[in-house]
């Protein structure tokens, strides 16, 4: 499964969304794609950063739950 997170950049919803997802039961191989306009802090006690990329003004993350 794939969760795609691309909220409005100016609203700063990332922490709230990741906190919400961290409390949900996800399938074992679920991948989370997150886009942001800044380098977001990722709680690596909960998520594994599979891939990170910066292009122009967009930071992209592929995450999985630990």
Which tokens is 45 given? 């006690």
User: Which pLDDT value is given to residue 20?
Assistant: 87
Handedness of CA 10, 38, 41, 7 (dihedral sign): positive
Which tokens is 1 given? 């499964």
User: Which pLDDT value is given to residue 9?
Assistant: 76
Q: What is the rounded CA–CA span in Å between residue 1 and residue 28?
A: 9
Q: pLDDT tens track of the chain, all 66 residues?
A: 899 988 787 777 888 888 888 888 888 889 999 998 888 888 888 899 999 999 988 999 999 988
Q: Report the predicted TM-score, pTM, of the whole model to 2 decimal places.
A: 0.82
């Amino acid at each position: 499964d794939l969760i795609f997170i691309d909220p409005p950049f100016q609203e700063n919803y990332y922490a709230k969304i990741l906190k919400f997802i961290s409390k949900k039961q996800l399938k074992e191989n679920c991948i989370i794609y997150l886009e942001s306009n800044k380098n977001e802090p990722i709680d690596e006690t909960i998520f594994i950063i599979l891939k990170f990329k910066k292009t122009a003004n967009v930071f992209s993350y592929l995450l999985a739950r630990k």
